[in-house]
Amino acid sequence: MTLEWTGNSVIFIDQRKLPLEEVYVECVNHTETYIAIKDMIVRGAPAIGASAAFGYVLGAMEFHGDFNSEKGIAHMKSVKEKLASSRPTAVNLFWALERMHKTFLGYISSGNILDILEREALAIAYEDIEVNKAIGKYGAELLRDGDTVLTHCNAGALATVDYGTALGVIRAAIEMGKKISVYADETRPYLQGARLTAWELMKDGVDVTLISDNMAGWVMSQGKIDAVVVGADRIAANGDVANKIGTYSVAVLAQRHGIPFYVAAPLSTIDLFTPTGKEIPIEERDHKEITHVQEVQVAPNNVKCYNPAFDVTPWNLITGIITEKGVVRPPYNMTLKKLFD
């Protein structure tokens, strides 16, 4: 699993160190959890949501007093806001914190509020695993025996509590007995595909080939790709999808070559309150991620940089969105809404 709850701390595998080192980081309060999310020790929309839920529990454990007092309520509101400020794009973060805070307010007068909050955070984590497996089952039905899938960034077990969304589709297809191979984009500038996806698939014995981002079009033109499957950090009401920078380019290339482009994501990633992708906040990260590879400088000193962490793929480039309730297709402004009926 990507994270482990001990009862008074949450332990993460430090994804910044992979694949060369397997290092674990233990967070004992909500501020440390905030840092773990902000600094991408833990990453991936579903994993961020679950991590924030446990961070909320740790924040509650830090308070000694009456939760039903103005001071207690203010403390938990501060915990929620602190964790919510860690990263702006992945809607699962806000979904999980809203769920935790609603639970807190609903049971604030009970004598065992800490136990209730812990159970809720664990429920979020375990639900994520079951949701991912359902996504995998529906998505696997879209893949044929012998297919080769291109994926971008990392939407595997490392990006969730376990199993994965996009990689969960691949895992489920293999579990069904289908022979599936994978091309993984390196995913510059943070190299989640090279460092994480390739590592994760190799650990599982999946046939994976790593390519640089600018090879995707050529690989498609050679007939080497049968489908594209990616994850998502936020899906707008009209079906526009925010995902790791470079996803939009892959979608354009897939349409040009007649290759189906699928997005695998839980319902918690769908934001019906955001009408289109234009309203999704896009995080811009440290320019050093572009000018350096790890600690090695590869660009001139003081060069101007632009480093958005995500882009938005328009709905009309997306063949289908795979959820735990099934696969939906355009018009997404109607089919996504029906998932919540």
Q: Does 161 fall in a domain?
A: yes
Same domain for 109 and 178, yes or no, is no
Same domain for 159 and 286, yes or no, is yes
Which residues face 229 on adjacent strands? 262
Among candidate residues 195, 149, 190, the one with its CA nearest the CA of residue 168: 149
Q: Does 110 fall in a domain?
A: yes
Same domain for 173 and 302, yes or no, is yes
Domain encompassing residue 279: 143-338
Boundary residue ending a domain (81, 100, 131)? 131
The whole-model pTM stands at 0.94
Number of H helices, E strands in the chain: 12, 16
pLDDT digits (tens, 9 = 90+) for 18-70: 999 999 999 999 999 999 999 999 999 999 999 999 999 999 999 999 999 99
Same domain for 230 and 109, yes or no, is no
Number of domains in the chain: 2
Same domain for 90 and 212, yes or no, is no
Boundary residue ending a domain (131, 165, 196)? 131
Strand 241-244 vs strand 181-185: parallel, antiparallel, or unpaired? unpaired
Same domain for 158 and 250, yes or no, is yes
Q: Is the dihedral of CA 107, 112, 118, 122 positive or negative?
A: negative
Q: Using alpha carbons only, what angle is made at residue 14 by residues 46 and 22, rounded to the nearest 5 degrees? A: 125
One-letter amino acid at 84 equals A
Same domain for 105 and 151, yes or no, is no
pLDDT digits (tens, 9 = 90+) for 183-193: 999 999 999 99
State the Cα–Cα distance between residues 157 and 242, nearest whole angstrom.
Answer: 19
Extract the tokens encoding 210: 């790593």
Boundary residue ending a domain (131, 152, 174)? 131
pLDDT for residue 299: 98
Tell me the CATH number at 126: 1.20.120.420
Is residue 52 within 8 A of residue 96, CB to CB? The reply is: yes
Same domain for 319 and 179, yes or no, is yes
Identify the active-site residue in 233, 240, 271, 311: 233
Which residues face 13 on adjacent strands? 24
Same domain for 243 and 158, yes or no, is yes
Extract the tokens encoding 207: 């046939």
Give CA separation, 46 vs 103, 168, 212, in Å: 19, 13, 26
Q: Does 138 fall in a domain?
A: no
Same domain for 90 and 124, yes or no, is yes
Tell me the CATH number at 198: 3.40.50.10470
233 classed as catalytic: yes
Among candidate residues 10, 47, 320, the one with its CA nearest the CA of residue 196: 47
Same domain for 148 and 127, yes or no, is no
pLDDT digits (tens, 9 = 90+) for 213-261: 999 999 999 999 999 999 999 999 999 999 999 999 999 999 999 999 9
Is residue 319 predicted with pLDDT exceeding 80?
yes
Q: Is the dihedral of CA 257, 198, 311, 238 positive or negative?
A: positive
Q: Does 323 fall in a domain?
A: yes
Is residue 58 within 8 A of residue 82, CB to CB? The reply is: no
